[in-house]
C-alpha cells in the first residue's frame, strides 16, 4: 500500500524508543514527515523506519539533550534542514536510578524534562509559526499527583532522591507548570502548547538501569499497556478534542486540575533565566 505523504512535519524528541518510537511509527504510517531529535539510533531491524529514512520521510538530528553545546548544534541543524514544523512533541526523558547532574550542573531530571523542552520550544518558534498546526505537546506524568509539596528552589539541586516520586515527579510538575504559565503568551503569537500524561506504559528496556521503584517493575510488566497506548494519548493531545485548548494538563485525554499552580510564575521565571543567560547568550 502506498502512503499518501503529508506536507506537515512533526518533530519528536526521544523518537527512537518506547512511547516516542510508537508515536513515530504511527505518524509515519499516516504519511507525516518526521524530524527525530534523538541521542541514540533507531532499531536497526525495523523495516518501516528503514524505509522512511531511505525516502527522507524520517530525518534524524542527533544530540545529547542534557548537554547545551550538543543541543545548540542540533537545533541549528534543524533550523537549516526543516522549512516548517507543525507539531513539536517534547517527549524525551525518563526516570533515572540515582541522583545525577547535567554538564551544566543541574539535577538531570529537571534539566532534561523541564529546562530542555523550554529551550527547544523557544529555539524552534520560527519554524512552528511557519507551520499550519503550530502546536507543542510536552510529555508530563501523573506522578505529579503524588506530590504533597513542591518547592521550585529545590529543582536544580534537590535535598533528597526518591525513584520516580522524587526529582522525576517534581521535574514533570515544573514542566506542566511552566507550560500552563506561558500558554497565554504563546497563544497570542499563534502557538498552542499543552502538557499530557501518556499513562501507564510498559517501557522497561533490558540491560538498562531503571529509575523505577523495585516493587513497580513486576506490576509494569504484568499490567501496564504497550507504549502505543501512550503514543495514542500524546497524538490525541495534539490533534484530538482538546486541540484548541492552550495550557491545559491532560490525563487520560481529559483536562486535569494542576496542583501548585501558584508556583507557575516562579518555575517559568527559572527556566526563562536559564535559557536567556546560559543557552541563548552563548550562541
Domain boundaries defined on the chain: 9-282
pLDDT tens-digit profile of 225-270?
788 999 999 999 999 999 999 999 999 999 999 999 999 999 999 9
Q: What's the pLDDT at 1? A: 54
Q: What's the pLDDT at 277? A: 97
Q: What's the pLDDT at 204? A: 65
The neighbouring-strand residues paired with 192 are 135
Mean pLDDT of the chain: 93
Spatial neighbors of 256 by CB under 8 A, at least 6 apart, are 197, 249, 250
Give the right CATH number for 9-282 from 3.40.640.10, 2.40.340.10, 3.30.365.10, 3.40.50.720: 3.40.50.720
Q: What's the pLDDT at 227? A: 87
The strand pair at 192-197 and 135-139 is best described as parallel
Cell of 238: 495534539
Query: Cα(59)–Cα(38) distance, rounded to whole angstroms?
Result: 11
Nearest 10 degrees: Cα torsion 241, 144, 174, 181: 40
State the DSSP code for 234: H
Burial class (CB in 10 A: 0-12, 13-18, 19+), 70: middle
Q: What's the pLDDT at 242? A: 98
Can you list the positions of beta strands (E) in 18-176?
33-38, 58-62, 87-90, 135-139
pLDDT tens-digit profile of 21-77?
999 999 999 999 999 999 999 999 999 999 999 999 999 999 999 999 999 999 999
Mean pLDDT of all residues in 85-98? 93
Question: pTM score > 0.75 for this model?
Answer: yes
Amino acid at each position: 500500500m502506498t502512503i499518501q505523504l503529508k506536507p506537515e512535519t512533526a518533530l519528536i524528541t526521544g523518537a527512537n524508543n518506547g512511547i516516542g518510537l510508537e508515536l513515530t511509527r504511527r505518524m509515519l504510517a499516516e504519511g507525516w514527515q518526521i524530524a527525530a531529535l534523538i541521542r541514540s539510533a533507531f532499531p536497526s531491524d525495523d523495516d518501516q523506519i528503514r524505509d522512511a529514512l531511505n525516502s527522507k520521510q524520517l530525518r534524524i538530528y542527533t544530540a545529547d539533550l542534557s548537554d547545551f553545546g550538543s543541543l545548540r548544534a542540533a537545533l541549528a541543524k534543524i533550523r537549516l534542514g526543516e522549512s516548517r514544523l507543525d507539531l513539536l512533541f517534547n517527549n524525551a526523558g525518563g526516570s533515572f536510578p540515582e541522583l545525577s547532574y547535567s554538564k551544566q550542573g543541574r539535577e538531570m531530571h529537571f534539566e532534561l524534562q523541564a529546562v530542555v523542552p523550554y529551550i527547544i520550544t523557544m529555539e524552534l518558534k520560527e519554524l512552528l509559526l511557519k507551520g499550519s498546526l503550530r502546536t507543542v505537546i510536552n510529555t508530563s506524568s501523573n506522578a505529579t499527583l503524588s506530590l504533597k509539596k513542591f518547592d521550585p528552589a529545590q529543582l536544580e539541586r534537590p535535598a533528597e532522591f526518591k525513584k520516580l516520586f522524587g526529582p522525576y515527579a517534581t521535574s514533570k510538575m515544573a514542566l506542566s507548570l511552566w507550560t500552563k504559565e506561558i500558554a497565554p503568551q504563546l497563544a497570542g503569537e499563534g502557538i498552542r502548547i499543552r502538557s499530557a500524561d501518556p499513562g501507564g506504559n510498559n517501557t522497561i528496556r533490558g540491560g538498562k538501569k531503571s529509575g523505577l521503584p523495585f516493587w513497580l517493575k513486576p506490576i509494569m510488566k504484568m499490567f501496564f499497556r504497550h507504549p502505543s497506548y501512550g503514543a495514542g494519548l500524546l497524538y490525541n493531545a495534539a490533534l484530538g478534542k482538546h486541540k484548541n485548548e492552550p495550557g491545559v494538563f491532560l490525563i487520560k485525554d481529559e483536562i486535569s486540575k494542576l496542583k501548585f499552580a501558584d508556583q507557575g510564575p516562579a518555575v517559568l521565571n527559572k527556566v526563562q533565566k536559564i535559557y536567556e543567560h546560559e543557552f541563548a547568550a552563548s550562541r
